[in-house]
């Protein structure tokens, strides 16, 4: 039993150890994983599948349709049977012919002959089947084939709308991928900034902690005052408070990153990509705008929606034209009404014809539908034009912000060197007793701030570059 418990404890410990192992990831790996696991992208991809199915549906609507229907009907019993009185008809005709003036048949039929003819006819009618017999059980099976020959352009317009809708959905999917990649890069660099800031604060905290110890020794020796020691301790406390705030930023950034990557929210992520300060592939802003207008998926999707709206106008106008279709039926029924007299047996018949439907008056419904389609077309065109203008502004602003961001890196790098040199000089003076603790704190604060400024400049450049690439459709 003890051995079993020991094994269980080891297994649990191993599981905890594996769960606590950090995940190292580059920025490109993060983007790839986010694109693979994103639920939003899966939903966007499902929209593409739905739109593709609508194309197949539109294509199928132009092909012949085949419909099968079956019917069984039980009629109520004892209905009256329709029949002719053939004997009365014969006797009346013979009587008429016998009495008709000027007819060669006048007087040719005596009453006995007429009576005998009626009896013979009556006997024959009694043995004959009724012309319309009552059949209580009715079965009917019909197979109908129909092909639309002309619909005023509605079928072709529906196909065009479905195809343009599919292309727009595909481009929306591509745009969603670009947006997700940009969001992942933002989260990556936000975490990078927090991590690097934590390192700078840790370094400053260690230096201050060491200086507090030295100051306490100097206080005992009477070399400095208690106020000098308190200043150092307050500064150390402030740094530690900042570390706690940054730790919270790191945790929040890590949760956001795990959510984007589809990882458990408690996963520890280690970043393995350093800023590269890469320059954009194209440096001519006019060329950038031209490229963005020709390759951005959201712009291309709007162009497809314009074409779809144009096809919608044609589909709406089709209501003014007739619909012509050829239709054939195969009927297998018991009784088949085309067989007279009706018989309680299955017989088949078929028919072939042309069907023309033309809505002569619909209270201007077609006109109103056309006006709606034309308004949707104008909306699509103007929305596309507005987006093109926004793209020009967006690309220009993002490009212009890239250069100052790169310059801030150079300036902040020089500032760090100068602050480091200043800190070294002040620290040496402090050790020599020619500078106060306040001077040292000021030098440390300047050095820390210059490092933070450099870190901010680096991350801002990477974010500006990512934002520029996103505005270019990359």
Q: Which residue has the higher pLDDT, 298 or 9?
A: 298
- Got the DSSP string for 15-40? HHHHHHS-EEE-HHHHHHHHHHH-HH
Alpha helices in 279-358, H assignment, sequence order: 285-295, 297-317
Q: What is the pLDDT of residues 381-391, one digit of tens each?
A: 999 999 999 99
Cα 80 vs. chain centroid, distance in angstroms?
A: 65
Beta-carbon contacts of 72 under 8 Å, excluding residues fewer than 6 positions away, are: 137, 138, 139, 140
DSSP for residue 30: H
Mean pLDDT of the chain: 87
Torsion over CA: 461, 464, 470, 472 (sign): negative
Q: Token digits for 38?
A: 């994103």
Q: Are 437 and 464 in contact (CB under 8 A)?
A: no
pTM: 0.80
Q: Which residue has the higher pLDDT, 108 or 44?
A: 44
Q: Token digits for 159?
A: 């196909």
**What span, in angstroms and rounded, lies between the C-alpha atoms of 338 and 379?**
57
Q: How many of the other CB atoms lie within 10 Å of CB of 343?
A: 14
Q: Token digits for 417?
A: 């060197």
What pLDDT is attached to residue 103? 66
Measured in degrees and rounded to the nearest 5, phi and psi for residue 69 equal -135, 145
- Whole-number percent of the chain with pLDDT over 70: 87
Q: Token digits for 28?
A: 């490109």
| Average pLDDT score over residue span 273-284 | 81
**What span, in angstroms and rounded, lies between the C-alpha atoms of 334 and 60?**
34
| Average pLDDT score over residue span 96-105 | 69
What pLDDT is attached to residue 337? 87
| Average pLDDT score over residue span 423-449 | 86
| Average pLDDT score over residue span 194-223 | 88
What pLDDT is attached to residue 1? 44
What pLDDT is attached to residue 2? 44
What pLDDT is attached to residue 280? 78
What pLDDT is attached to residue 115? 75
What pLDDT is attached to residue 81? 59
Question: At residue 14, does pLDDT exceed 50?
Answer: no
| Average pLDDT score over residue span 370-375 | 96
Question: At residue 435, does pLDDT exceed 90?
Answer: no
Q: Are strands 137-150 and 23-25 parallel, antiparallel or unpaired?
A: unpaired
Q: What is the pLDDT of residues 309-350, one digit of tens each?
A: 999 999 999 999 999 999 999 999 999 988 877 888 999 999
Question: At residue 266, does pLDDT exceed 50?
Answer: yes
What pLDDT is attached to residue 34? 95
| Average pLDDT score over residue span 82-89 | 62
Q: Which residue has the higher pLDDT, 241 or 343?
A: 241
Question: At residue 4, does pLDDT exceed 50?
Answer: no
Q: Which residue has the higher pLDDT, 173 or 284?
A: 173
Q: Is the peptide bond before 335 cis (omega within 30 degrees of 0)?
A: yes
Q: What is the pLDDT of residues 106-157, one digit of tens each?
A: 766 777 776 776 666 666 665 555 556 778 899 999 999 999 999 999 999 9
Confidence band (pLDDT; 50, 70, 90) for 224? confident
Beta bridge partners of 323: 357
Question: At residue 105, does pLDDT exceed 70?
Answer: no
**What span, in angstroms and rounded, lies between the C-alpha atoms of 188 and 105?**
117
Beta bridge partners of 347: 333
Confidence band (pLDDT; 50, 70, 90) for 217? confident
**Stretch among 142-146, 298-302, 388-392, 403-407 having the lowest mean pLDDT:** 403-407
Name the 3-class secondary structure at 151.
coil
What pLDDT is attached to residue 122? 65
**What span, in angstroms and rounded, lies between the C-alpha atoms of 117 and 109?**
10
Question: At residue 204, does pLDDT exceed 80?
Answer: yes
The residue behind tokens 């700078």 is 200
Q: Are 273 and 26 in contact (CB under 8 A)?
A: yes
């Amino acid at each position: 039993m003890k051995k079993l418990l020991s094994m269980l404890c080891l297994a649990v410990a191993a599981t905890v150890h594996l769960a606590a192992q950090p995940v190292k990831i580059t920025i490109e790996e993060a983007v790839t994983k986010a694109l693979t696991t994103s639920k939003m992208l899966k939903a966007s991809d499902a929209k593409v599948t739905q739109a593709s199915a609508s194309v197949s549906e539109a294509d199928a609507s132009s092909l012949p349709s085949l419909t099968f229907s079956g019917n069984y009907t039980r009629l109520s019993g004892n209905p009256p049977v329709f029949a002719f009185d053939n004997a009365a008809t014969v006797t009346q005709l013979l009587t008429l012919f016998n009495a008709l003036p000027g007819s060669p048949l006048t007087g040719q039929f005596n009453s006995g002959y007429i009576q005998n003819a009626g009896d013979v006819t009556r006997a024959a009618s009694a043995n004959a089947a009724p012309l319309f017999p009552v059949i209580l059980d009715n079965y009917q099976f019909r197979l109908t084939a129909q092909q639309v020959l002309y619909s005023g352009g509605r079928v072709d317009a529906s196909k065009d709308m479905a195809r343009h809708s599919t292309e727009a959905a595909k481009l929306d999917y591509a745009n969603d991928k670009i947006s997700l990649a940009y969001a992942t890069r933002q989260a990556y660099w936000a975490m990078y900034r927090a991590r690097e800031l934590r390192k700078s604060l840790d370094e400053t905290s260690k230096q201050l902690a060491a200086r507090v110890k030295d100051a306490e020794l100097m206080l005992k020796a009477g070399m400095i005052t208690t106020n000098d020691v308190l200043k150092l301790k307050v500064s150390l406390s402030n740094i530690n408070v900042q570390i706690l705030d940054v730790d919270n930023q790191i945790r929040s950034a890590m949760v956001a990153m795990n959510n984007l990557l589809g990882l458990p929210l408690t996963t520890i992520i280690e970043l393995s990509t350093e800023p590269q300060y890469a320059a954009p592939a194209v440096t001519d802003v006019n060329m950038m705008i031209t490229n963005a207008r020709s390759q951005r998926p959201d712009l291309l999707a709007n162009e497809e929606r314009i074409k779809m709206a144009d096809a919608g106008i044609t589909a709406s106008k089709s209501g003014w034209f007739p619909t012509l279709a050829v239709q054939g039926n195969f009927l297998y029924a018991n009784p088949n009404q085309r067989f007279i007299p009706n018989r309680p047996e299955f017989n088949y018949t078929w028919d072939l014809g042309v069907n023309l439907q033309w809505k002569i008056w619909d209270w201007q419904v077609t006109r109103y539908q056309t006006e709606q389609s034309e308004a949707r077309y104008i909306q699509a065109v103007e929305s596309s034009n507005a987006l093109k203008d926004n793209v020009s502004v967006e690309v220009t602003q993002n490009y212009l912000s890239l250069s100052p961001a790169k310059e801030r890196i150079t300036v902040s790098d020089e500032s760090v060197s100068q602050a480091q040199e200043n800190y070294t000089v002040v620290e040496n003076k402090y050790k020599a007793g020619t500078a106060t603790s306040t001077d040292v704190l000021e030098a440390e604060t300047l050095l820390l701030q210059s490092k933070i400024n450099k870190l901010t400049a680096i991350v801002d450049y990477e974010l500006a570059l990512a934002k520029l690439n996103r505005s270019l459709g990359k």
